[in-house]
Amino acid sequence: MPYYPEIRTLGDIARFHGAKRPDSTAFVFEKRSTSYHQFNENTNQVANGLIGEGLPRQSRVAVMGKNSDWYYELLIGNAKADLVTVGINWRLAPPEVAWILNDAEAKVLFVGPEFVSVYESIKPELKTVQKVIVLADQHDRYPTYEQWRNAQSNNDPDVDVNPRDVAVQMYTSGTTGLPKGVQVSHSAFYALNEIAEKCGEPEEEWTVWTDQDVSLNIMPNFHIGGTGWALIGMYAGAKNVVLSEFTPGGALQAIRDFGISKLFIVPAAMQFMLADPSCADTDFSRLKYIVYGASPIPLPLLKRAMDVFKCGFIQLYGMTETIGIGTYLPAEDHDPEGNPRMRSAGKTRAGVEIAIKDDQGKCVPTGVIGEICINSPANMIGYWKRDDATASTLIDGWIHTGDAGFMDEHGYVFVQDRIKDMIVSGGENVYPAEVESALFGMEGIADVAVIGVPDDKWGEAVKACVVLKPGYTLTPEAVVAFARERIAGFKVPKTVDFIEMLPRNPSGKILKRELRAPYWAGRDRQVN
């Protein structure tokens, strides 16, 4: 990865490349193509527009819409004005969206046209939103993005932004059912580039980016996998092709049309691409690397992918709190015949420390299972307005991941289980407490526990284990329908089991490990 000392904040990305490669393409989205010069001017307009709205520095600006080039204009424009971008997961149910907007104290909301109805349904509940701008060419009730942006000055706002200021606030699921706002600074996104440069770390091929690279951005921008990946391409001055959302046919079409050289996806998406009929007619000769995360790649999928894509594969392990940075599994460790390292999450890069700690916070010996902890300049500042959660997660600079694992003698990390009660399904984090809270309100349910079970497509699937009140009869379909009205679709149980009682210890805690055991029997690890 190149290192540009001139880039100290996210806003500097547009300034630097707008001057260095003004005519090079920054973004391609549908029929729009934006040069780095135009991108720099557009982000100036965004910054000046929001300053003109009277927003104090470090105010939260929310964006709820599918991927587009405009999201990146807002991200960098906010950064230039020292404002914080809050991406809203548009797959959430309206009550969840309202909670995040209120928790973030968002002053301005940019909303995609397809989600205006969501905003209007929760408008009476919103406490801080002062202005709504629709991400569309025209709208009959609200100002539109282009009209608003183009009315602003394109001069640099010249706001002195501290690299340690918060740039992005991303919401993750919470153990109590309430999402937590992860605060990420400007410097977190590029600090490792500086460390690698200063320590003279030899560049590995997959980390080398040039302005000839073409990056495909298909993961949702409200996730670190979407925003983080896009910022890598922007920092390098690459061409960034943006799709509004992932579809296998759309991803393959982009590879054919634009000669994509690098992309980031989750293994489930990779599987969908391979199954798409157009895959057979796609030229992958420009594709250098597929970077993936959220779960390891199953060996049969790797074999098929290596045969078809004929490129390198890199696994990344991390979490939103570490902006996705933790360990990586190099391309050379991806063996289609299998090897012990294929079961690992890989090793660290310069500037990142991994420690395996016991419940007293002490490091355990090599090969002993403990909690995986990450110390990195990319770690979050903390959770927004959640000092208690910050104190239990970020301890003396170390992020406690909630994952249980061990490190071998070569520094490779092996994830074995989760300490935190969390399910990862298709790259989305689901805390059972959220689902359980929703289901407890259903007439006829006396008790419920939600667990993750293996799933060939999604890695893990959400399962609800339900105890009925005496005299009640429910169907799995009814339970699923009840949940779907209250929580996001990806959190809704895929299956429902009715059982007589939940296993509990003497203090009353549900023994979820016992519930999970039959489904995970015979597997090397208890998570996917």
pLDDT, tens only, 470-503 = 999 999 999 999 999 888 899 999 999 999 888 8
Torsion sign (Cα): 223, 226, 229, 235: negative
pLDDT number for residue 233: 96
What is the C-alpha separation between 4 and 490, in angstroms, rounded?
Answer: 39
Residue type, 93: A
Domains of the chain: 9-23+36-161 (3.40.50.980), 352-418 (2.30.38.10), 424-520 (3.30.300.30)
pLDDT, tens only, 241-265 = 999 999 999 999 999 999 999 999 9
Mean pLDDT (whole number) for 395-409: 93
pLDDT number for residue 397: 95
For residue 50, pLDDT over 60 is answered with yes
pLDDT number for residue 522: 76
Helix-helix angle 10-20:224-236, to 10 degrees: 30
Check residues 298 and 335 and name the one with the higher pLDDT: 335
Residue type, 373: C
pLDDT grade, residue 14 (50/70/90)? very high
For residue 30, pLDDT over 90 is answered with yes
Mean pLDDT of the chain: 92
Query: Are 88 and 100 a contacting pair, CB within 8 Å?
Result: yes
Most confident of the ranges 85-89, 193-197, 299-303: 85-89
pLDDT number for residue 458: 84
pLDDT, tens only, 91-148 = 998 999 999 999 999 999 999 999 999 999 999 999 999 999 999 988 999 999 999 9
pLDDT number for residue 438: 85
pLDDT number for residue 48: 98
3-state secondary structure of 308: helix
H helix runs in 130-241, sequence order: 145-150, 191-199, 224-236
pLDDT number for residue 11: 98
Q: Which of 183-187, 287-291, 412-416 has the lowest mean pLDDT?
A: 412-416
pLDDT number for residue 1: 76
**Model pTM score:** 0.86
What is the C-alpha separation between 437 and 389, in angstroms, rounded?
Answer: 19
pLDDT number for residue 240: 98
**First-to-final CA distance of the chain:** 29
What is the C-alpha separation between 62 and 74, in angstroms, rounded?
Answer: 10
Residue type, 80: K
pLDDT number for residue 356: 96
pLDDT number for residue 425: 84
What is the C-alpha separation between 456 and 454, in angstroms, rounded?
Answer: 7
Q: DSSP string of 31-82?
A: TEEEEHHHHHHHHHHHHHHHHHTTPPTT-EEEEESS--HHHHHHHHHHHHTT
